[in-house]
Structure 1
Amino acid sequence: MKNPPLHRFATRPGFYFTDDGGADVVVRSETADQVWLSVLEGERKPSAFYQDAIRLFETPDVPLAEQIRNHSVCSRIVKQFGVRETLFRMEGPNYGLWYVHLPKAWDGMHYGYRADGAWNPKRDVRFNLNKLLLDPYGKGIDGVMELHPAAFSYACEVENRQVKGSPMGEMSTVDSLGHMPISVAVDDRDNAKHDGDPDHPHVPWSKTVIYEMHVKGFTMNAPWLPKELRGTYAGLAHPGTLAYLQNLGITSVELLPIQAKQSEVFLQESGRTNYWGYNTLNYFCPEPSYATKAAQKQGATAVRQEVIDMVKALHAAGLEVIMDVVYNHSCEGGVAGPTVCWRGLDELPYYRHNDNDGQLVDTTGCGNTFDFTNTHVITFAIDSLRYWAKRIGIDGFRFDLGVSLARLDGKFTHHHPFLHALRSDLLLGNLKLIMEPWDLGDNGWRTGQFSTPFGEWNDRFRDATRQFWICDAQGGGKSSHVGMQEMATRLCGSADLFATEPGRGAASAVNFVACHDGFTLTDLTRYNSKHNEANGENNTDGSDGSLSANFGVEGPSKSPAVVAKREQAALNMLGTLLLSLGTPMILAGDEFGNTQNGNNNAYCQDGPISYMQWDWVKSGAIKKNWQTRRMEAVAELIALRKSLDLYHHEDFFTRLTQIGLLKPSSRVQWFLPDGTMPMEQDWFDSSQRSFAMELLSDDMNVLIVINGENEERQFHLPVQQIWTSAWCSTQVNGQSPRRDDEGDSGSSLWTFPAFSITLMRQQN
């Protein structure tokens, strides 16, 4: 069968429906000897390819490769799974691409690839025609991996759920059909499908408040949702969910990975799952398990539509959608891992390799690392991101282990081609792009070293805030490690890290105190050490340096004094986060005291430990409980931040700075409790824990007062203004600042509670 001319868009890998009722199918494999497109149909239904395909019959001791090599189109029936597989020999390679035109194609069609070539594991070549491979560009997916010998390209056995075999040994002869996920064609040719959609919110960085959440975990126990919507995309789009997010005041939701995922083999061996989703199975299609049962039953197109509808609903509510994406590694793991897609199609160019030993470079801790020195890997990632932005409507991306995406010859550079491709792309370059600025490779910590327009997670802010308000405060400030200089730097936008080039300002610092990875905010104040026993790794997983404290009792406490101290510490950290220059990010649930019972690595906890606990919503309906009071305090703080036009880009760095013409900021002033400005020795005194930061503007000045001492402290506030208290972290415990000079209009003497952060506002 001679292929007709290719569809005009089919010069890149992908599945392209054509106007003749068929499709052009393109896949990349630079090193395969031959690639086949496999189309799967039900055995008991008529085949769409009956006139084109030569029927094959099972012949003992004759490998599949030998049966299909002499036919351009052939089919076979696999009775065990009730399917007919039709194989189309593809033409190529043409600049690394293989092509075929399908005479018929339809939405929901199940398909995959089989690639034939050399088997030489010691040289990183592992072609195995017996493995049905996913389309790297596939828009839909069906099925899951079974822990079965068929999942692996090398000969192995699975005994008592343990995989036994050598990846450097013989090739597996077990067909993976029926044991692995398969690709599903999604017809998305309708160019008018987004007509009438709500406008994207386009929230400026200066107004952004990010809310990090897990789709399933946030909605699984939500009492306002009917059961069929809990744990789903549709549940996140529900009016009750949207109202909650609006009432809190956040502007942008950052979703933990929603691209299709697969659990690591070691988790499957122990009967666990990868709950967080940082183990991507496909970069173009959404995770099906987060869709409603009805959508899952209808198939990949319905799952995709549920995601699109979720994004539309969030946009209509004025909220941005940022996706956490994992392009640093795939779910195939190390060389002993399964063969799902990239390993079977073209392992050499897709992954980074050690020299001639058959092993993979791993700067991710997950067994493999995509090779972003390869132009085609960069193109693959950019195509995926553009698809989510253009076809699904996503407003931004957070890149997991971003340093691994920017290594050339093993070394990080902010001039990496991938970073240039992102910033120069007309679509992607105008979205919110956030980097996790570290990985596990050499010199992997690179906070502040990415370039404009990237935002970055600011772990220095996290650590300084925890140390100041938890660890040092527990010691009474006598052996302080974080004093005024460090805290002032973090409050002012971390110029020491982000003043790296002209035009880069405080908004590039994505400040946070807690995120999905580690303790929740409440657990930071309840536990001295991690309690990860439920993870099945003998409590050896997770960080041992969380900078947490239990305030005298490990775990929950009924002591009013302990509870009050913990709550004040939590509000101190939230206040610092939301009153600092930079872009704040809140972990979902921290606003009402959600806990993971001391687990600081709940990546494999698809259950109560990870799900948001909403019982307080019902119990707080009549009488306010502590969760309600905390949520209201956070909502008030966000509203205050949004009302003040003081959090725009701080011009840290200009061309004049580069030639040494420094100038002090005209917008920030600092004061000691006695009203004087700090001298040089004060900045270097780490025991100095009380100070004030004044932010100046044409409309209204504000004063952020920090009292990190274990006692009340008097402050002489700037006398040129009359001040009122707008928010204080101790208000949840019934304490507030008080003015000590009532009736004296020429003075501003105030007393601030111990261990407090207060926002003072200029009185009009």
Structure 2
Amino acid sequence: MDLSFSKLDFLKPELGAEYIGDGTHFALFSAHAERVDLCLFSDDGREEIVRLPLPTREGDVWSGFLPGAGPGTIYGYRVHGPYDPKNGHRFNPNKLLLDPYAKQIFGQLTWHDALFGYCVGHEEADLSFDERDSAPYTVRAVVQDPEFDWEGEQAIRRPWTDTVIYEAHIRGLTLMHPAIPEHERGTFRAMAHPAIIEHLSKLGVTAVELLPVQYFLDDRYLVERGLRNYWGYQPLGYFAPARRYLSNGNIQEFKSMVKAFHAAGIEVIMDVVYNHTGEGSELGPTLAFRGIDNLSYYRQSPDGRHTFDTTGTGNTLNVAHPMVLRMVLDSLRYWVTAMHVDGFRFDLASALGREQIEFDREGGFFDAIRQDPVLAGVKLIAEPWDIGDGGYQLGGFPPPFREWNDRFRDDVRRYWRRDADQLPALAQRLVGSPTEFNHSGRVATSSVNLVSAHDGFTLTDTVSFNERHNEANGEDNRDGHADNCSDNLGVEGATDNEAILAARSRRRRAMMATLMLCQGVPMVLGGDEIGNSQRGNNNCYCQDNEIGWVDWPGSDQDFLAYCRALIALRLANPLLRQDSFLTGELVTWLRPDGQAMTEEDWHQAEQQTIGVHLHDAGDQADLLLIFNAGVDCRFSMPGPGEGRRWHRVFDSATASFRARDASDVEDIIEQSAVVFAAKSAHSLASDA
């Protein structure tokens, strides 16, 4: 390799390291740098071979073309500029920096005080200056060859109305699966194993939503306590798959996983974290963005010295800056075009909508995505809150975003817990949460419905614990949600009491049925379908062990069969998954006596049974959904319409999906959801 830059005879606008056949073009953004050194390393990554100042600066982009530098070249940057923390500048060329556009990571970060731009423990704190070289302790980037055999692979682009999401953790879902070879468990290769794909296909889910798989850090305080970052919400490399999920270090494993899922008709959605990075506050390490251009990459407090934090992690990425926004968009496009993913779930998405301080649904981030021909066509899901003032924005995101609906989770849990005065809230959730979403041209699939997610109790724990049990996290059980809207039904945690176990199973079936019978897009937490428990831990962010992993050996096969049939019931009935909100003549709310609900009925605090008659304008079946959180009751059936008759097709209490003719008055068992279909003679003949 010729260790000197040469001039390209054409313009290369891309940032990062791009291999173009006879060499690699390196480019880095820094508005306030005075010099940028490209550092090349030996093949084992240990020895720094040479430092080459990037020769060209145009605007705020520093670049150079290095002939002979090909795939596998290991590199990093050292950036020179003012060290003036009081004014937001934290340049320190003693610190080796990761390229924000790195597509593969080499090495493993080892926590050491040399990783910090200031002298840890110094009386002047972050105003001091550390001269030690951080290279022995930090990671490097690797130049990539973009070629991959995608032959036969096609994007699925399934409609939202036909989508059932499965939230999964790469390690958590695969580490205890007996059919996967032990040396593959916990990796992308394991996720693509036929046993996992067969399980998901038979379950009926249509999309996997992967917890963060972009390169992330293990927090220092966790490592010092013998723990690690399990969930992955401390990103550092927005273009690179996390090394811990690569069985052989080759990023092609991620592409192979996506290709395998697509072959099975399952979309891949990534949980992405563009609201902050793993560098933390101004007292955090200097690993990449802080040393490249702290003032551009991070929002600063008015005093200029401190990072502005709306995420609870110490910093907030400054997506209002055009070049930081460009990095986010480039990253998203990369995962779609080069890695073929089908969509994204944005962690703490309200932070991305803060132009200055307040949330703005017409802000630059949303405008940029909506006009982008690549990103506007993929699935986009917002976690509609952050911890800053005005951060809770459920229903406030613009189309085409969908949103995680935590109110759905809480209202459904409270209803089945038999809290008083829950029918109005339940009714909202059953028809797609129109109060939150039926505005601005939004559709009934805007709400991503969930009864559990990675953050909080699993479905089994929701019916098994009254209190969180996070002692293993080492924070004196103070972390995680204090109010989980849960109910242990008589005993805290595991029990041999058959009556309690039966009650828990019945409520679990009713809650899962509610999820699948509501308008909107259902999301299942990976492991819920087999009864997985986290032993009452509702904040497993650091539990990379049996607490956080899915317990395949302890699978509840009966509940798995029930979930399969329930998802099939949803997908077979278009009335349960409308794109338009059900209003007026399309839905009738019924009391147990078969009469329409009155205004007074909605305010009967102790009323716990409701019927929902969904009317079909065509020749398909009307549906009557009955939800009974209270005691056994008798429900008078409404008129099914001329030429039709009601058939009882589903009962969560008995886990029955066997159709039978309905009577004029039907028994509805306590803690159950029941579905009736009013079929015409024509449709009955077609079914036969």
Establish whether residue 709 from structure 1 lines up as the match of residue 630 from structure 2.
yes
| Equivalent residue number for residue 298 of structure 2 | 351
Contact 1:471 1:547 in 2 (8 A): no
* 1:466-524 Cα deviation digits (max 9, x unpaired): 1000252xxxxxxx0412x221111000000001212x111110000100000000001
Cα distance, 1:749–1:348 mapped onto 2, change above 3 Å: same
Provide the rounded CA distance (Å) in 2 between the counterparts of 1:148 and 1:252: 40
| Equivalent residue number for residue 634 of structure 1 | 563
TM-score (norm 1): 0.85
What is the aligned residue count?
674
Match for 2:519 among 560, 581, 586?
581
| Equivalent residue number for residue 602 of structure 2 | 683
Contact 1:467 1:481 in 2 (8 A): no
Provide the rounded CA distance (Å) in 2 between the counterparts of 1:616 and 1:726: 30
Contact 2:18 2:143 in 1 (8 A): no
Match for 1:537 among 468, 472, 475?
475
Please state whether the residue corresponding to 1:722 is helix, strand or coil: strand
Larger deviation: 403-412 or 694-703? 694-703
* 1:167-223 Cα deviation digits (max 9, x unpaired): 4232101101111011111121x4xx3552322222110000000000111000101
Provide the rounded CA distance (Å) in 2 between the counterparts of 1:523 and 1:761: 33
Match for 1:695 among 598, 614, 635?
614
Contact 1:39 1:86 in 2 (8 A): yes
What is the letter of the counterpart of residue 459 of structure 2? Answer: L
What is the letter of the counterpart of residue 650 of structure 2? Answer: W
| Equivalent residue number for residue 113 of structure 1 | 77
* 1:575-613 Cα deviation digits (max 9, x unpaired): 110000000000011111100000000000011001110
Establish whether residue 94 from structure 1 lines up as the match of residue 17 from structure 2.
no
Equivalences for residues 65-464 of structure 1 within 5 A: 83-156=47-120, 167-188=125-146, 190=147, 193-292=148-247, 295-296=248-249, 302=250, 304-464=251-411
Contact 1:154 1:166 in 2 (8 A): no
Contact 1:156 1:166 in 2 (8 A): no
Provide the rounded CA distance (Å) in 2 between the counterparts of 1:317 and 1:723: 36
- Report the Cα offset of residue 8 of structure 1: 4.4
Provide the rounded CA distance (Å) in 2 between the counterparts of 1:82 and 1:336: 27
Provide the rounded CA distance (Å) in 1 between the counterparts of 2:11 and 2:508: 54
- Report the Cα offset of residue 443 of structure 1: 1.1
Contact 1:738 1:750 in 2 (8 A): no
Establish whether residue 548 from structure 1 lines up as the match of residue 548 from structure 2.
no
- Report the Cα offset of residue 321 of structure 1: 0.3
Question: % of aligned pairs identical?
Answer: 38
Provide the rounded CA distance (Å) in 1 between the counterparts of 2:233 and 2:674: 38
Cα distance, 1:124–1:339 mapped onto 2, change above 3 Å: same
Please state whether the residue corresponding to 1:572 is helix, strand or coil: helix
Contact 1:464 1:487 in 2 (8 A): yes
TM-score (norm 2): 0.95
Please state whether the residue corresponding to 1:274 is helix, strand or coil: coil
Establish whether residue 601 from structure 1 lines up as the match of residue 556 from structure 2.
no
What is the letter of the counterpart of residue 27 of structure 2? Answer: V
Contact 1:328 1:405 in 2 (8 A): yes
Larger deviation: 265-274 or 632-641? 265-274
Establish whether residue 751 from structure 1 lines up as the match of residue 670 from structure 2.
no
- Report the Cα offset of residue 371 of structure 1: 0.8
Match for 1:17 among 16, 19, 23?
19
- Report the Cα offset of residue 525 of structure 1: 0.6
Provide the rounded CA distance (Å) in 2 between the counterparts of 1:650 and 1:107: 46
- Report the Cα offset of residue 357 of structure 1: 4.5
Please state whether the residue corresponding to 1:542 is helix, strand or coil: coil
* 1:709-741 Cα deviation digits (max 9, x unpaired): 223333333343422222221114x89999784
Please state whether the residue corresponding to 2:653 is helix, strand or coil: helix
| Equivalent residue number for residue 32 of structure 1 | 33
Task: Please tell me whether Structure 1 or Structure 2 has the larger radius of gyration of its CA atoms.
Answer: 1
Contact 1:525 1:551 in 2 (8 A): yes
Establish whether residue 522 from structure 1 lines up as the match of residue 460 from structure 2.
yes
Contact 1:110 1:184 in 2 (8 A): yes
| Equivalent residue number for residue 658 of structure 1 | none
| Equivalent residue number for residue 489 of structure 1 | 428
- Report the Cα offset of residue 24 of structure 1: 1.4
What is the letter of the counterpart of residue 611 of structure 2? Answer: A
Match for 2:652 among 720, 726, 729?
729
Provide the rounded CA distance (Å) in 2 between the counterparts of 1:735 and 1:319: 25
Equivalences for residues 611-630 of structure 1 within 5 A: 611-616=549-554, 627-630=556-559
Provide the rounded CA distance (Å) in 2 between the counterparts of 1:575 and 1:739: 21
Provide the rounded CA distance (Å) in 2 between the counterparts of 1:704 and 1:288: 47
Contact 1:737 1:750 in 2 (8 A): no
- Report the Cα offset of residue 696 of structure 1: 2.0
Larger deviation: 670-679 or 581-590? 670-679
Please state whether the residue corresponding to 2:448 is helix, strand or coil: strand
Cα distance, 1:167–1:376 mapped onto 2, change above 3 Å: farther
Contact 1:532 1:539 in 2 (8 A): yes
Contact 1:740 1:751 in 2 (8 A): no
Contact 2:646 2:661 in 1 (8 A): no
Cα distance, 1:223–1:664 mapped onto 2, change above 3 Å: closer
Contact 1:532 1:601 in 2 (8 A): yes
Cα distance, 1:7–1:548 mapped onto 2, change above 3 Å: farther
Provide the rounded CA distance (Å) in 2 between the counterparts of 1:257 and 1:165: 37
| Equivalent residue number for residue 505 of structure 2 | 567
Cα distance, 1:579–1:367 mapped onto 2, change above 3 Å: same
What is the letter of the counterpart of residue 18 of structure 2? Answer: Y
Provide the rounded CA distance (Å) in 2 between the counterparts of 1:311 and 1:9: 33
Please state whether the residue corresponding to 1:507 is helix, strand or coil: coil
- Report the Cα offset of residue 139 of structure 1: 0.7
- Report the Cα offset of residue 644 of structure 1: 0.9
What is the letter of the counterpart of residue 487 of structure 1? Answer: L
- Report the Cα offset of residue 91 of structure 1: 2.9
Task: Specify every segment of 5 or more residues in structure 1 that has no aligned partner in the other structure, as ranges.
Answer: 44-80, 158-163, 297-301, 473-479, 618-626, 653-662, 742-747
Cα distance, 1:175–1:110 mapped onto 2, change above 3 Å: same
Please state whether the residue corresponding to 2:566 is helix, strand or coil: helix
- Report the Cα offset of residue 166 of structure 1: 5.1
Please state whether the residue corresponding to 1:231 is helix, strand or coil: coil
Task: Specify every segment of 5 or more residues in structure 2 that has no aligned partner in the other structure, as ranges.
Answer: none
Establish whether residue 761 from structure 1 lines up as the match of residue 677 from structure 2.
yes
What is the letter of the counterpart of residue 117 of structure 1? Answer: G
Please state whether the residue corresponding to 1:563 is helix, strand or coil: helix
